[in-house]
């Protein structure tokens, strides 16, 4: 049981200008894990809240305007619970927790960070944002999930992690990964080799993620055994895919006909995740994106879900969030990338 205590001094009410709260941290918890090396985490928190925070021994005193003090206290309680669960605090999850608390989200930050997508490997993979958690929940309950969002939001990575977990749990017998072979500025015809070799660079991000999750040797064995199959979308035509987890990546570059072809490959005991970024369509201007069209066609079908991720779910460098937002604002004016967002 946690030794943590929350104390409201006598004579201080929510109507007062200043509130004080004292949090007693369990003696078994090193304060450096909560406050960071050289108080790095504490400085981040002080920069986000208008509170004075003083740490003495295993106690943290918070003093400030009642609303800010309340939010800051909730943050420390969440961070302490994360540490009690054996998780690690990082500047990234502190920032996400602060954002959730300030926005008054119904779900607690701890519930997001405790969620595990992949546990059947050396590395446990978890969602890092509220949007990612909701995405994972949709994958667990739906037969087909469309994940739409900008670069860096974890669309493909989380889908791969969940697919690997399903494979390890024997919920499916094989994992099929596919992408449309659409050039983003390059021409396939000028690349050496057969079609597999030509599309290999486009599938490389999927390989990299699976190497991390499974290890190079295990991934190689599963490829040889056919447990994992990686193929261009064109090779899906005419097949019926039973007992499989199928991931279609970069789906914004499918035509409506290709999207229909892919979706009708789904067989018994199978599920599919389709990911894409509708602000990065590389199709010719006269060709519509199958991913954009499918939202209007399938939105009312049971078992089909749509997960929308945005800049708040970007888990790369913080500047990537700002880049995503800048391109979105630019595209909304009908200029350049993003103008086809519709």
- pLDDT tens track for 200-243: 677 777 888 898 899 889 999 999 999 999 888 888 888 889 99
What are 209's two structure tokens? 């993620």
106, 143: one domain: no
137, 262: one domain: yes
CA dist 98 → 34, 36, 125, 177, 223 (Å): 15, 16, 22, 36, 42
Mean pLDDT of 71-77: 95
Which DSSP letter does residue 311 get?
G
Dump pLDDT digits (tens) for 257-313.
999 999 999 999 999 999 999 888 888 888 899 999 998 899 889 999 999 999 888
Average pLDDT of the chain to the nearest whole number: 85
Residue 123 lies in a domain: no
90, 156: one domain: no
87, 151: one domain: no
CATH number for 110: 3.30.1370.10
Whether this prediction's pTM lies above 0.85 is answered by: no
- Residues of the domain holding 78: 6-114
Per 3-state DSSP, what percentage of the chain is helix, strand, and coil (rounded to 5)?
45, 15, 35
Specify the pLDDT at position 312: 83
104, 138: one domain: no
Range name among 41-45, 122-126, 183-187, 312-316 with the lowest pLDDT average? 183-187
- Burial string for 73-109 (b: 16+ CB within 10 Å, else e) reads bbbbbbbbbbbeeebebeeebbebbbebbeeeeeebb
Residue 124 lies in a domain: no
95, 154: one domain: no
**At residue 8, does pLDDT exceed 80?**
no
Half-sphere exposure of 56 (CA within 13 A, CB side): 4
Give the count of domains, the chain: 2
Q: Give bridge partners of residue 174 from the DSSP assignment.
A: 244
């Amino acid at each position: 049981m946690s030794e943590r205590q929350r104390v409201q001094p006598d004579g201080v009410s929510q109507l007062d200008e200043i509130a004080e709260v004292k949090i007693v941290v369990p003696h078994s918890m090193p304060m450096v894990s909560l406050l960071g090396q050289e108080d790095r985490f504490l400085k981040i928190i002080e920069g986000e809240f208008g509170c004075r925070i003083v740490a003495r021994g295993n106690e943290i005193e918070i003093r400030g305007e009642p609303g800010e003090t309340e939010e800051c206290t909730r943050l420390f309680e969440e961070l302490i619970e994360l540490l009690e669960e054996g998780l690690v605090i990082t500047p990234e999850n502190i920032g996400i927790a602060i954002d959730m608390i300030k926005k008054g989200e119904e779900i607690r930050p701890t519930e997001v960070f405790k969620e595990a997508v992949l546990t059947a490997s050396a590395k446990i993979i978890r969602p890092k944002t509220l949007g990612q958690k909701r995405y994972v929940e949709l994958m667990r309950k739906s037969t087909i999930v469309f994940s739409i969002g900008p670069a860096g939001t974890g669309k493909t990575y989380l889908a791969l992690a969940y697919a690997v977990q399903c494979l390890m749990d024997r919920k499916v017998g094989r994992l099929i990964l596919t992408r449309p072979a659409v050039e983003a500025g390059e021409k396939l015809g000028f690349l050496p080799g057969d079609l597999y070799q030509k599309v290999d660079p486009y599938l490389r991000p999927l390989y990299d993620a699976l190497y991390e999750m499974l290890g190079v040797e295990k991934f190689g064995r599963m490829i040889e055994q056919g447990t994992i199959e990686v193929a261009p979308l064109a090779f899906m035509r005419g097949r019926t895919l039973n007992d499989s987890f199928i991931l279609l990546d970069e789906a914004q570059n499918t035509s409506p006909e290709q999207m229909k072809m892919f979706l009708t490959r789904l067989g018994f005991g199978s599920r599919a995740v389709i990911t894409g970024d509708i602000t990065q369509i590389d199709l010719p201007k006269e060709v519509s994106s199958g991913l954009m069209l499918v939202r209007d066609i399938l939105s009312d079908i049971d078992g089909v879900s749509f997960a929308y991720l945005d800049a708040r779910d970007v888990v790369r460098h913080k500047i990537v969030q700002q880049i995503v937002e800048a391109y979105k604002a630019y595209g909304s004016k009908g200029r350049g990338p993003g103008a086809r967002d519709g």
